[in-house]
Amino acid sequence: MRRFEGKVALVTGADCVGPVLQPLNDAVRATRGHPAVSEKLLASGAVPLASSPQQLGALLKRDAEKWGRLIRAKKITAQ
């Protein structure tokens, strides 16, 4: 059986900085931690996790590099 791993993230513009970004991140974390929300996520098969904006940025960068290497190596192009 193959396992699918997907990610859902809230992404803002690069100009969204600390005074706006931190309260937004705090609100998302609080919502994710609410028992009713967590229960629904778990029931759907999702594993609710939260990260910092810096952690998400690093993850997106790693994924872009990883998949970019594969795309270039296999010479995959859009049709």
Give the pLDDT score at 1: 65
Cα dihedral across residues 18, 35, 9, 52: positive or negative: positive
Close Cβ partners of 52 (under 8 Å, ≥ 6 residues apart): 25
CA 15/CA 13 separation, integer angstroms: 5
60: tokens are: 């997106």
> What global pTM score does this model have?
0.72
Residue 60's pLDDT band, with cuts at 50, 70 and 90, is very high
pLDDT tens digits for 23-57?
999 999 999 889 999 999 899 988 888 888 889 89
Spatial contact of 41 and 48, defined as CB atoms under 8 Å apart? yes
Tell me the domain boundaries of the chain.
18-48, 51-79
Q: How many Å apart are CA 22 and CA 44, to the nearest integer?
A: 28
